[in-house]
Structure 1
Amino acid sequence: MKRSFAYLIIGAMILGVLTGWGLNHFLDAEGASKAASNLNLITDVFLRLIKMIIAPLVFTTLVAGIAHMEDAASVGRIGVKTMAWFISASAVSLLLGLVIVQILQPGANLHLPEAVVATAPAASTDAFSLHGFITHLVPTSIFDAMARNEILQIVVFAVFVGTAVAALDDKAPAVMHLVEQAASIMLKVTEFVMKLAPLAIFGALASTIATQGLDMLGTYAKFVLGFYGAMATLWGILFLAGAVVLGKRVIPLFRTIRTPALLAFSTASSEAAYPRILDALPKIGVRKRIVSFVLPLGYSFNLDGSMLYCTFATMFIMQAHGVHLSLSQQIFMLLLLMVTSKGIAGIPRASLVVIMATLTYFGLPEAWIAIVLGVDHLLDMGRSATNVVGNSVAAAVVAKWEGELDPEDEIEGAEPKTIA
């Protein structure tokens, strides 16, 4: 079942590219645009279905995971270890993006004028200040947070509820049963939704190629290839870091997350892969209470691909306009991005808002971000897949540190089941 689903995804990708090329080649611009709009409807519906289930799925699984901890001290201990890994991974991702973009200088040859007439997406950057970020952590209403899919606020509320349940002597068995049953129901709903993934992938790729053509990279080839090279380097670092902690078990881990990473890449949404990772990691020995605790936090605090993109794209934009930052300014930019890149999971193209906030801080026009919009979807595919890899490695590492990784002989020969 797992292998057949992977084949369906690959087939959908190939068919999507061929269909998009045919529409782009044989139709005029208006006809291709209309066809792309119709095809994109499939992907839009799929992503709306994903967003429909994310909030209750995150809440129920996180509450259940925390409530199964022995006590509040366990929650704190695991939380500290998890955040230590997240902060380290964030620093590596940001620094790697900065170093590679400085070496490659992908924007140096564009020589764009300082003033660019372009239309940037309207977005508020107020929430990305330190004060805005801290106050945004706490929901005024959990129902409002769920209605708006505010993952970070849902995580905060779930941590309080789960910790309170864990602190009770009887652990509120009625509540625990309700939460666990709700989580099981949401996973079953997810199973139904995921069956539509190949259709969504076909629609997403076909609509993109239909409007932009196979030469969509154009003059941005160096930028795109450089970014993907930086991501490949980050994947290598994550693999090595995982190998140091997990040993040879890092290989089945990466084998297991191939399909979720491919799904995230194809749909340009790490959310789409969340339920699949949640289901797959326990099948390779990462115990459910660790997965249910680490993954929701990771989707708010550990977006390795997005952070890599923030430094890479910000410096690309500055290079394209001949802006040079001093070493101290670059260091401060890394610290600024470390704060502003947190809690952006589930927000479409939130990396663009973070980059806009950074440009604004340095007194540069927000409209400059327009030069990356043409290829942002292709880059979003890569960073979404990287986010999935980073969070999967984090969950396995924390499980190993906590002694919550099942012995290999207990799972040997057990092929990890997936939702498909």
Structure 2
Amino acid sequence: MKMNRLTTWIGIAMVLGIVVGYACHALAPTPAAAKEIAGYFSILTDIFLRLIKMIIAPLIFATLVAGLANMGDSKTVGRIGAKALGWFVGASFCSLFIGLLLANLLQPGAALAVPLPESAAGLNLKTGALNLKDFITHVFPKSIVEAMGANEVLQILVFAVFFGLALGHLHNQTARSLVNTMDEIVHVMLKVTDYVMRFAPFGVFGAVAGAITTQGLGMLLVFGKFMASFYIALAVLWAILIGAGYLVLGKDIFRLLKLVRSPMLVGFSTASSESVYPKLMEQLEKFGIKNRVTGFVLPLGYSFNLDGSMMYTTFLALFIAQAYDIPMTLTAQITMLLVLMVSSKGIAGVPRASLVVVAAVLPMFGLPEAGLLLVLGIDHFLDMGRTVTNVLGNAIATSVVAKWEGAIDPVPEALAEADEALPVPDEPVAQPA
């Protein structure tokens, strides 16, 4: 199968990236030389991510418009949106709580021997981007062309909601023709995605080799306990997410996991959620989820359901407190959880979102922002775990909402494993009276 071959090649690319990156790090005479070498590897990753970004805006717009037009009424949109946001809030609280609990149990920052810096200079984190006023106004586009050019998912979603609902209320031949055109555009874009994904192994190789060339493997050993503790926490979160999915989907959850393994591997390797979006949408379609649900819930999830990133915020904040030997009472920890619950909802589109959220919250609890400098060197490897968890969480969330809506048409496993995108029927657009 082509999908299995792609997964195999991505795995090989990861291993080669580690080997080549380690060799380049060992042979580079200076850190500056290593950084220059890593810059050449980043060319491959940048090309791959640019190709992915090229797909996202037209795919999101076409899918949303076609799906909303097929729904036909705003009540259905509101119902699906309410169910999705309900799941997102529950998953967010669970993620933050697990990060808090596991950081207390595993104590990753206790007795840390690494000297801590005295200032936060060099963080370059735009914490000013994290405020409720700017976030709310930024959601609404002033130009759909500008929003699509910048791949602003939430802004595209807002315009597509208006456009799709308006199209669904027009009962004439032209409207039906336009909806059918949007459906075809979706499948054309999924085919384009298939072509782009064939470049994924090169992008993965460049990302891994570049990170290892710059940081080496020694940094991973120094912070081994922190990384191991974080990945244990991620494993616990995975178990809970999959268990919650099992309660709704039953044994189909295992079929879903099998289908999304390739997008998850790409997300893990590149540490980029954007690199996964088009392929994840295609795999959810192969799972049998109707486009009207996938096209609406998945973009929402990319903005409000970042389970791995949210768990990391509480985990990292407590790690910094432990590293500085600053005790935090239970009341302070619960308060921090609630603050992060709210502030993490405004991080869509903010670069290095998890670190930005933590940097903004630390001063509220008397914790030094300079502690973030401890983990900047290994943040790429932590981001790999955060990203793959975000992908898993959004795949399960979309599938659960589709199940609640009765919007899953089972697809034979042999067809689902095929390389071609499958057309998933949606409700027909209303006929003219």
The corresponding residue for 1:97 is: 99
Distance 1:240 1:116, change over 3 A: same
Q: For the Cα contact (< 8 Å) 2:117–2:373, is it kept in 1?
A: no
1:201 lines up with 2:204 in the alignment:
yes
Q: For the Cα contact (< 8 Å) 1:152–1:343, is it kept in 2?
A: no
* Counterpart Cα distance in 2 of 1:297 and 1:283: 20
Which of the numbers 369, 374, 388 marks the counterpart of 2:372? 369
SS at match of 2:111: coil
Superimposed CA distance per residue, residues 379-420 of structure 1 (whole angstroms, 9 cap, x where no aligned partner)? 10111000110010111111111111224xx52443334579
The corresponding residue for 2:43 is: 41
TM-score by length of 1: 0.93
The corresponding residue for 1:16 is: 17
The corresponding residue for 1:88 is: 90
Which of the numbers 284, 288, 299 marks the counterpart of 2:287? 284
Residues 260-279 of structure 1 mapped to structure 2, 5 A cutoff: 260-279=263-282
Q: For the Cα contact (< 8 Å) 2:108–2:226, is it kept in 1?
A: yes
How far the C-alpha of 1:364 sits from its partner, in A, is 4.3
Q: For the Cα contact (< 8 Å) 1:271–1:346, is it kept in 2?
A: no
Q: For the Cα contact (< 8 Å) 1:42–1:200, is it kept in 2?
A: yes
Gaps of 5+ in 2: 422-433
* Counterpart Cα distance in 2 of 1:115 and 1:65: 52
Structure 1 range deviating more: 171-180 or 299-308: 171-180
The corresponding residue for 1:54 is: 56
* Counterpart Cα distance in 2 of 1:137 and 1:239: 31
Distance 1:392 1:25, change over 3 A: same
The corresponding residue for 2:425 is: none
Q: For the Cα contact (< 8 Å) 2:130–2:346, is it kept in 1?
A: no
TM-score by length of 2: 0.90
Report how many aligned residue pairs link the two structures: 418
Structure 1 range deviating more: 131-140 or 58-67: 131-140
CA RMSD of aligned residues (A): 2.2
Structure 1 range deviating more: 213-222 or 232-241: 213-222
* Counterpart Cα distance in 2 of 1:175 and 1:360: 52
The corresponding residue for 1:254 is: 257
Superimposed CA distance per residue, residues 13-58 of structure 1 (whole angstroms, 9 cap, x where no aligned partner)? 1111111122122332344332211111111221122223222222
Superimposed CA distance per residue, residues 266-314 of structure 1 (whole angstroms, 9 cap, x where no aligned partner)? 0001111111111111212222221112111111111111111111112
SS at match of 2:294: helix
Q: For the Cα contact (< 8 Å) 1:120–1:367, is it kept in 2?
A: no
* Counterpart Cα distance in 1 of 2:393 and 2:222: 30
Structure 1 range deviating more: 136-145 or 351-360: 136-145
Distance 1:200 1:17, change over 3 A: same
Distance 1:243 1:35, change over 3 A: same
Distance 1:31 1:237, change over 3 A: same
The corresponding residue for 1:233 is: 236
Superimposed CA distance per residue, residues 346-375 of structure 1 (whole angstroms, 9 cap, x where no aligned partner)? 544221111111124335443332111011
1:162 lines up with 2:177 in the alignment:
no
Superimposed CA distance per residue, residues 184-216 of structure 1 (whole angstroms, 9 cap, x where no aligned partner)? 343333222211110011111111112222222
Superimposed CA distance per residue, residues 315-365 of structure 1 (whole angstroms, 9 cap, x where no aligned partner)? 212221223333333222222222222253454422111111112433544
* Counterpart Cα distance in 1 of 2:62 and 2:359: 34
Q: For the Cα contact (< 8 Å) 1:120–1:366, is it kept in 2?
A: no
* Counterpart Cα distance in 2 of 1:150 and 1:325: 37
Determine what percentage of the aligned residue pairs are the same residue.
50
Gaps of 5+ in 1: none
How far the C-alpha of 1:131 sits from its partner, in A, is 2.6
Structure 1 range deviating more: 337-346 or 16-25: 337-346
* Counterpart Cα distance in 2 of 1:222 and 1:26: 27
Q: 2:3 corresponds to which letter in structure 1?
A: K
* Counterpart Cα distance in 2 of 1:60 and 1:375: 38
Q: For the Cα contact (< 8 Å) 1:72–1:163, is it kept in 2?
A: yes
The corresponding residue for 2:132 is: 130
1:74 lines up with 2:76 in the alignment:
yes
